């Protein structure tokens, strides 16, 4: 399968011809539309750097910016397509995650109106235009900055909106896992939004717009801000690091591999409702890292906890210079004859081969929200995993990790959410139309 619309389903229809797609780090699809100035810069940058990887969210070092927000700001992710944006697109530098609860008495019609208003706003904001219904001028001088708006439906939405018979089976509650310390006030919710952008103001602005458009219909339940590497921070596009310092995301399913779409997206037929075809399920976990304990561990022991080298992300046992994409050999032995990748190493316990082929597309973001009362960092990973069936993806893997993963000693799962993501908004239509009118 190639990195085309069939595998990514991100259709640039209606957004002009300047679409650049390439497989970026960690298998995400780099697909952004640049304004005239940005497109010119891309060509110029590619011509000037021999052997450089085509990278369509341009490096800040280009600087020759014109138009809204400069080159980084002009990069634009198509909002419409077979699948929603923000799934196969590479993680942006900033994310706002939030969930909303429907107000009392808001039924199907109220939900439809809300989704229509959100779609209209997302159409405009992702194109770098202010929202027509409400705008507070916070993002006025910025371009779209690769803004994506991704919407999901929690299990509780379906009863409230009179859609109980349309609730998909994959929204059955996740089981409780050993060690869970979940705060329901920071998870779950009727409606979920993931807003990514390469600029913090653009992301916050988009969330504020959606929140204002929801006034009287749905109230914010929780909100979490996250971040990832800013494009251009590294000399070459590489898979990002998390707050434990590990390269995180290497062994994700890749859009150019066979069966990618079947792992990540729901297909028509089977036990999935027709409205979810082209959609996906998202598992969210707010996972705090016990960084004081982690950082007290020598690097070689940290590496054995994960099963990969910190420097370059290569699997333990791989020769020097092998790189993060080097194949994982779970049978490799060290000089002393023991397993190079220990029995409780995270990548061994989480591997699809150890979990009946369970697969998911991880697209997490770091968070750092200051200190807890005991002085330890309130920091970790906003874990986001997209899959076609959480019962065959996240749940079996997390069950295994919670019992036998060396990494779990350094983690606390503090919030959780499970959402069904409808397919992309149909041409001229709105997000969730297949659910409400199908």
Contact positions vs ligand L6N33NVT (CB under 6 A): 242, 244, 246, 248-251, 285, 287, 289, 306, 308, 328, 346-347, 350-352, 380-381, 383, 394, 397-398, 401, 411
Residue 100 or 394 having the CB closest to ligand L6N33NVT: 394
In the complex, what is the shortest distance from the CB of residue 239 to ligand L6N33NVT, in angstroms, rounded to a whole number?
7
Q: Token digits for 155?
A: 């299990």
Residue 120 or 412 having the CB closest to ligand L6N33NVT: 412
As a dihedral over the C-alpha atoms of residue 296, residue 298, residue 299, residue 302, rounded to 10 degrees, the angle is -70
In the complex, what is the shortest distance from the CB of residue 285 to ligand L6N33NVT, in angstroms, rounded to a whole number?
6
Q: Are 193 and 153 in contact (CB under 8 A)?
A: no
Where do the DSSP E strands lie in 133-199? 148-154, 191-197
- Rounded distance, CA 218 to CA 157, Å? 11
How far apart, in Å, are the Cα atoms of 97 and each of 206, 358, 385? Answer: 11, 25, 13
Angle of helix 200-213 relative to helix 108-125, nearest 10 degrees?
150
Q: What 8-state DSSP symbol labels residue 314?
A: P
- Rounded distance, CA 370 to CA 382, Å? 15
Q: Are 370 and 247 in contact (CB under 8 A)?
A: no
In the complex, what is the shortest distance from the CB of residue 175 to ligand L6N33NVT, in angstroms, rounded to a whole number?
12
Residue 190 or 324 having the CB closest to ligand L6N33NVT: 324
Question: In sequence order, which ranges of 135-285 are alpha helices (DSSP H)?
Answer: 155-160, 200-213, 260-264
- Rounded distance, CA 166 to CA 101, Å? 18
Residue 139 or 340 having the CB closest to ligand L6N33NVT: 340
Q: Are 231 and 198 in contact (CB under 8 A)?
A: yes
Residue 212 or 325 having the CB closest to ligand L6N33NVT: 325
Q: Catalytic residue numbers?
A: 248
In the complex, what is the shortest distance from the CB of residue 366 to ligand L6N33NVT, in angstroms, rounded to a whole number?
9
Q: Token digits for 389?
A: 């069936």
Smallest CA-to-CA distance from 69 within 197, 210, 194 is with 197
Residue 150 or 416 having the CB closest to ligand L6N33NVT: 416
In the complex, what is the shortest distance from the CB of residue 313 to ligand L6N33NVT, in angstroms, rounded to a whole number?
6
Smallest CA-to-CA distance from 357 within 330, 315, 389 is with 389
In the complex, what is the shortest distance from the CB of residue 294 to ligand L6N33NVT, in angstroms, rounded to a whole number?
9
């Amino acid at each position: 399968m190639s990195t085309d619309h069939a595998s990514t389903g991100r259709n640039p229809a209606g957004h002009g011809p300047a679409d650049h797609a390439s497989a970026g780090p960690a298998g995400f699809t780099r697909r952004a539309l640049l304004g005239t100035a940005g497109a010119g810069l891309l060509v110029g940058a590619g011509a000037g750097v021999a052997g450089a990887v085509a990278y369509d969210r341009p490096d800040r070092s280009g600087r020759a910016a014109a138009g809204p927000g400069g080159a980084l700001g002009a990069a634009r992710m198509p909002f419409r397509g077979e699948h929603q944006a923000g799934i196969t697109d590479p993680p942006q530098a900033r994310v706002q995650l939030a969930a909303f609860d429907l107000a009392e008495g808001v039924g199907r019609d109220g939900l439809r109106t809300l989704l229509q208003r959100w779609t209209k706003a997302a159409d405009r904001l992702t194109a770098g235009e202010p929202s027509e219904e409400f705008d507070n001028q916070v993002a006025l001088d910025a371009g779209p900055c690769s803004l994506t708006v991704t919407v999901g439906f929690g299990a509780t939405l379906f009863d409230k909106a009179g859609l109980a018979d349309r609730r998909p089976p994959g929204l059955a509650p996740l089981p409780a896992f050993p060690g869970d310390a979940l705060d329901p006030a920071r998870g779950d919710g009727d409606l979920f939004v993931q807003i990514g952008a390469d600029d913090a103001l653009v992301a916050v602005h988009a969330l504020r717009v959606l929140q204002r458009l929801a006034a009287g219909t749905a109230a914010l339940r929780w909100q979490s801000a996250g971040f990832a590497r800013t494009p251009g921070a590294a000399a070459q596009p590489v898979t990002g690091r998390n707050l434990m310092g590990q390269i995180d995301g290497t062994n994700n399913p890749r859009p150019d591999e066979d069966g990618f779409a079947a792992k990540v997206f729901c297909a028509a037929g089977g036990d999935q409702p027709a409205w979810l075809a082209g959609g996906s399920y998202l598992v969210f976990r707010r996972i705090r890292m016990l960084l004081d304990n982690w950082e007290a561990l020598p690097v070689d022991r940290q590496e054995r906890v994960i099963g990969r080298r910190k420097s370059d992300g290569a699997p333990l046992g791989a020769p020097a210079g092998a790189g993060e994409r080097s194949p994982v050999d779970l049978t490799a032995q060290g000089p002393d004859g023991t397993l190079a990748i220990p029995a409780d190493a995270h990548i061994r316990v989480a591997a699809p081969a150890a979990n009946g082929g369970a697969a998911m597309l991880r697209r997490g973001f770091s968070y750092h929200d200051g200190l807890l009362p005991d002085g330890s960092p309130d920091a970790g990973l906003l874990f986001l995993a997209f899959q076609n069936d959480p019962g065959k993806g996240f749940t079996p893997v997390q069950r295994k990790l919670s019992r036998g993963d060396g990494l779990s000693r350094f983690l606390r799962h503090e919030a959780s959410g499970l959402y069904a993501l409808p397919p992309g908004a149909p041409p001229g239509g709105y997000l969730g139309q297949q659910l409400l009118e199908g």
